[in-house]
A and B are shown apart, each in its own frame.
Chain A
């Protein structure tokens, strides 16, 4: 797939942004587990913080392929920084899917001003099974009152606005799940424990506590019960971006190997390992662009998004493991970028749906497509 001029220009900009604002700081912020607020500010200046936001609301409104180019570059520098910076994309998607103009304005205004948004679906008892959320949103007059505990909320401590999923009717199960826009300053919304993670340590992951959080009824996205649909569409949009993080991480791991090895005379086993890395990276990137070009063309892409996410993040994981093996003891030192890449890569197989969940999605679609084909053939006989 050929990139056009604007895309190439933005890719070059993102590459420079990464070299200037991410790579020099990534190791330090990982070590300290510190949130890189400064890079959010820089991304705002570079016009990269609201890539998904429509022009109408002051955003850049880049197409998805273009956004993925930027995300890959960020991830080349640091998957943790990339998770933070692309979080505004993730948390914007529910608005793009189901938001009214008023809701979009409410949500996008702080984001365009350089603020951060956060998406909060997961609960301690609702991970892969997102439909089993126990947090509730009770309609009282012209307000909703939210109660419950959400977890693994990315950027939760720093967000100005959240999209929070809660059940408006627990008896309805998945069909009772609803999505709400909630501002940070709402009384009763507080930050619980902060996760101490294996990797992407500069990214902020928190428990979100909702205690009688009252919000106007017009903060509901779509209708009551639309939550699961919105969540699934959001994840469709987010998965190719996670895949792009995987491509960036894997590309960095390969580069770290090549940097060391190009001056020596690497033997054939090393060479073939490098070749396998490159094969997987190229294939992963092609899958990402394929899924997103379908999306940009308005075509169905849910399965392709899951395929890209699974392949690219499995690739990131295995390329990083192979890189560490090639570099040996050197890559076991905390000063080595490669050990960080390995720790970071692991989360990519987990968040936005584990790769097991992706395989459920993919298999479901493959089987459904064939069943439909057979039904159509039977009907035509």
Chain B
């Protein structure tokens, strides 16, 4: 990838690798086992300025672009996908405020988010494309200078640890489709209840919980962006998330395929390393080629985001590629290691569980195919 990465982007990637090898890799297995929020790792990330990577220098950020960001995300994911998911959702919240916030909101929230003093979360989860109705409905009613939020959001990443939530609530149910508005909600607001932490299949250590809003009253200044224009914001936020999560998928798959390749090199069956068999070579080659193609698509979409070009269709394509790449690759590479790959003592079993969450959480209500097809006509 170096041929499109600038020196600065490469340096950021390099420091991400150093950090991840030193801090994330040694704790990844224990984090998966305990599922406890990785405070030290997040503090370390803040120390390296990764939490404010995309934010401008005026608010204490690095001012790096989205290409640098996906480089960092891929690198972190190579060593610890759970921590990467925390970072992704935090950065998503900061990105939303940077993108749509007014000056006062930026001054109020971004410095703390950039330094990692406050963890951010986006509660946009629509829980997948199959039209399941129990995804939780959140409404907001204007009362004078305030809004009163009622309802719930399910499967919110960083829930319980976040100091603020960017969430979307329906503010006009009579409009077709229903109109929603984005709010910045302080986690300490009375009536905002974080449900018990979900036990999840993978990405353990990344907190996931439901949020319940019992007459949560927020000032009018909590509105992010334009009232009733939330739908376009959700679409954009989920598209940004899709690109970042695809980078996470690429990182996981790259680690997995390298792990399997190393195993194939030393595992001898039928008198030779299994890596010398064409079937194993073909399996590894296909995974590596798909991974490479998806990485290029991630960089392409990331560049579009960075340059302020339209990127919704590109992001949907990246999402589609990552969906295929992720689970299918892990299914395949475990085969290389056979019974050992199925053991939780080995790395692949954990990555097999992590990859599912990488693609499932933040799944939009639309299939990426729908967004892509719409962009073609």
Give A238-265 interface residues, CB cut-off 8 Å to B.
257, 260-261, 264-265
Report which of A122, A197, A328, A339 forms a contact with B130, defined as CB distance below 8 A. A328
Do A198 and B353 have beta carbons less than 8 Å apart?
Answer: yes
List of B residues within 8 angstroms of A339 by Cβ: 201, 356
Report which of A326, A332, A359 forms a contact with B361, defined as CB distance below 8 A. A332
Do A269 and B369 have beta carbons less than 8 Å apart?
Answer: yes
List of A residues within 8 angstroms of B352 by Cβ: 198, 343, 346
Do A329 and B360 have beta carbons less than 8 Å apart?
Answer: yes
B133 in contact (CB, < 8 A): yes
B338 in contact (CB, < 8 A): yes
B64 in contact (CB, < 8 A): no
- Of the stretches A221-229, A292-300, A350-358, the one at the interface is A350-358
List of A residues within 8 angstroms of B283 by Cβ: 356
Do A317 and B331 have beta carbons less than 8 Å apart?
Answer: yes
| Binary contact readout B88-128 vs A (1 if CB under 8 angstroms, 0 otherwise) | 00000000000000000000000000000000000001111
Do B132 and A261 have beta carbons less than 8 Å apart?
Answer: yes
Do A332 and B202 have beta carbons less than 8 Å apart?
Answer: yes
CB distance from A284 to the nearest CB of B (A): 17
Supposing A199-B342, A269-B367 touch, asked if A332 and B356 sit within 8 A by C-beta, the answer is yes
- Of the stretches B234-242, B290-298, B301-309, B343-351, the one at the interface is B343-351
Do B349 and A122 have beta carbons less than 8 Å apart?
Answer: no
Bound CA–CA A269/B366 (angstroms): 10
Nearest A residue (CB) for B202 = A332
Do B201 and A328 have beta carbons less than 8 Å apart?
Answer: no
B279 in contact (CB, < 8 A): yes
Supposing A198-B344, A265-B131, A328-B128 touch, asked if A129 and B270 sit within 8 A by C-beta, the answer is yes
Do B343 and A195 have beta carbons less than 8 Å apart?
Answer: yes
| Binary contact readout A330-351 vs B (1 if CB under 8 angstroms, 0 otherwise) | 1111111001001100110111
Report which of B128, B323, B339 forms a contact with A330, defined as CB distance below 8 A. B128
CB distance from A199 to the nearest CB of B (A): 7
Bound CA–CA A324/B360 (angstroms): 8
CB distance from B205 to the nearest CB of A (A): 14
List of A residues within 8 angstroms of B367 by Cβ: 267, 269
A216 in contact (CB, < 8 A): no
Bound CA–CA A165/B183 (angstroms): 66
B255 in contact (CB, < 8 A): no
Do B201 and A127 have beta carbons less than 8 Å apart?
Answer: no
A100 in contact (CB, < 8 A): no
| Binary contact readout A178-218 vs B (1 if CB under 8 angstroms, 0 otherwise) | 00000000000000000111110000000000000000000
List of B residues within 8 angstroms of A125 by Cβ: 268
Bound CA–CA A257/B345 (angstroms): 31
Give B131-189 interface residues, CB cut-off 8 Å to A.
131-134, 154-155
B248 in contact (CB, < 8 A): no
Bound CA–CA A128/B202 (angstroms): 29
A132 in contact (CB, < 8 A): yes
B73 in contact (CB, < 8 A): no
B335 in contact (CB, < 8 A): yes
Do A346 and B132 have beta carbons less than 8 Å apart?
Answer: no
Pairs across A and B, CB under 8 Å, 16 listed = A197-B343, A198-B342, A260-B130, A266-B130, A269-B367, A321-B327, A324-B360, A325-B129, A326-B128, A326-B129, A329-B128, A332-B200, A332-B360, A333-B198, A333-B201, A354-B338
> Which of B's residues lie within 8 Å of A, judged by CB?
125-134, 154-155, 198-202, 208, 268-271, 274, 279-280, 283, 323, 327-328, 331, 334-335, 338-339, 341-345, 349, 352-353, 356-357, 359-361, 363, 367, 369-370
- Which 9 A-B pairs have CB atoms at the shortest separation, nearest pair first? A328-B128, A129-B269, A334-B199, A329-B155, A198-B349, A339-B201, A326-B130, A196-B344, A328-B363
Besides A260-B132, A318-B331, A359-B279, 6 other CB < 8 A contacts?
Answer: A132-B271, A328-B130, A334-B198, A334-B199, A342-B201, A351-B339
